Chains A and B, each alone.
Chain A
């Protein structure tokens, strides 16, 4: 490369080249070989080189400080939750990947910590370790909504899928939290953790079959199941007297408000099944059913089919006219019910098959009677999601406007009704000024 505009002091030629052979850059004359000028170390610019630190290779060698902190946090959380090394490694990988993405690199430190928690959460789910987002939120001491938002964003960006966590898996870990064993509380109130877990799992499965679980947050349901399991394992007067509040206080867990409603819903389901027990003489009320829970859970499949049959006959009794319509389906339904009794697997199939046959008949019959413009199918089946049974009353929708073409004439008077008269506009302007001045005066 020729350095323009320079003349060799030795021979006067302008044939000067930049010699980079040696570690110091030198300008050398081609003709006579004399060195015109050379860079010295002293010539280095004051205040560091022209290339900034962030553009040198030194940056890539040392990772960002927050990234290191975040990785440490991930490891910490895995240790607290006692996760195995496979999950920990997966979480670390995800965190490294997610951290580099632009939506996570320039966010607050809190969000980065939440991101660490979400990575742990996703890894647990992918490796079949049951855990809820609530646990992660409490670990991070962060708002569950924020954690949820970061979680959704992270899965979208990393393009990963997390398999669904069933509540029956999580409840085992949940029950461990309750300090209700013999060493913590009095004898009448104490319960072995394993026995408690087993019953709570059975209750949660029953709740799942009868539509209490779907769509709801898992934690209040697990709390309700644990509470009922604990009460029913030894229904003495001490336990029955203890409300959910006091129970949570006793077991040193934080009470969730929706758990009270879940307890009521669960008890309702148990009552429906408890009524089918042939050896029960008294009426099964919400208070009484706690004593029967053990028997109900033991024979729940049989009780389910019996309850469905009773429900059908009760529905039939209500509408004798439709009995002709019902007879073909009646033959179908009991056979299906007896089939399902044999299979211990899905009693919920019976739950859905028989009620839906009933509802079809019911709808035909309703159209004759026209009692209800919108028949609530939830009230007619034995088990339905509570949001259907207690459907919100909607205000009557105005009938849809017919035959709007979009090109109709727009009347002037209508448009004028939306425009202020000049006096109005003046008054409004004055008022605005008055309000703003008084506001600024006060503040």
Chain B
């Protein structure tokens, strides 16, 4: 009994991360619940795990194309009356006691998810102890809809920092080797350092913009180096309010994309004007990222303040792009 409860506890944490679930699953899984109670089959846990993960993705574009195949397989294999509903509540109580938080809005669905998770637990051969992190699958799996497997590479980070004291730009331009200053063209000193290879705009108010770094830590290190140079030049420079303002990343999905089709189906988010720019500009709402999608399959993501936003945006767009590949 304890082992089963423990399994259910951990399975539930994985199931809880899905934000949406379809009613179909509700009906089918309720029938499956009975089968779990009666016997423990060792079936591939990956299928259902894939489902919970993909159901998470459901929230974004409601792509239901993947569902029927697997669910119909499972439902056909089980022959169960629909009295499974009564079993839901005791399950619910047990898991609530173990202190898992439930979204109020997803209460009903959470019960179903637990059934899914329970089935998961029953079907896996071994349920290794696993931390409750959303993104780690329990076992290596053949996913129902593939995760893209492509990781966008960061290309540029723009950050700002306040040095906290007014600066004499003419003096800096005179004393620093790596600085250029042309007040008629732009009211800031442009300074560059070799490692990490970055450029900084230093304003007379003491504010500084640092661009060109390839990761957040590098940007911070570079900003600190610039501050140190200004310090060495004799100003009481500090390092206040370092903030990353923008992150740009790019990746390649390795198949051609029909931009005309994409602009037709996602008209409210896309802007594609071949006469003005060869790429399609996709303004994603959640997360708020702008993607430039090109016919070659290359995608540029920009406008992020966090790395996670970029990864999330790419995982959102990848199924949409793949949809255009198969047509």
Interface residues of A (CB under 8 A from B): 132-134, 144, 148, 151-152, 161, 163-164, 166, 208, 211, 214-218, 346, 348-349, 352-353, 356, 359, 377-378, 384-385, 387-388, 391, 400-401, 404-408, 410, 414-420, 424-425, 428-429
Contact = CB atoms under 8 A, between A and B. Distances in A.
B176 A420 contact: yes
B326 A353 contact: yes
A134 B273 CA distance: 12
Interface of B: 174-178, 193, 195-196, 214-221, 224-225, 228-229, 232-233, 254-260, 263-264, 267-268, 272-276, 278-279, 294-297, 325-327
A87 to B, nearest CB: 20
Contact of B274 (A216, A359, A407): A216
A410 B214 contact: no
A418 B327 contact: no
B273 A133 contact: yes
A420 B196 CA distance: 20
A257 B294 CA distance: 23
A415 B255 contact: no
Given A214-B258, A410-B228, A419 B177 contact: yes
A220 to B, nearest CB: 11
Contacts of A414: 195, 225
Contacts of A359: 254-255
Given A406-B218, A406-B221, A152 B276 contact: yes
B297 A388 contact: yes
B218 A148 contact: no
29 contacts: A148-B275, A161-B268, A164-B263, A214-B257, A214-B259, A214-B295, A215-B278, A346-B327, A348-B327, A352-B325, A352-B326, A359-B255, A377-B255, A385-B296, A388-B297, A400-B214, A401-B196, A401-B214, A401-B218, A404-B215, A404-B217, A404-B218, A406-B216, A406-B224, A407-B220, A410-B224, A416-B232, A418-B193, A420-B175
A152 B275 CA distance: 12
Interface of B is mostly: loop
A148 B195 CA distance: 40
Given A211-B256, A416-B232, A420-B175, A218 B296 contact: no
A217 B217 contact: no
A211 B178 CA distance: 46
A342 to B, nearest CB: 17
Contact of B276 (A133, A164, A346, A418): A133
A356 B325 CA distance: 9
Contact of B275 (A217, A400, A428): A217
A305 to B, nearest CB: 17
A232 B106 CA distance: 65
A218 B278 contact: no
Nearest to B192: A418
A429 B219 CA distance: 32
Contacts of A418: 176-178, 193, 229
A364 B188 CA distance: 52
A419 B232 contact: yes
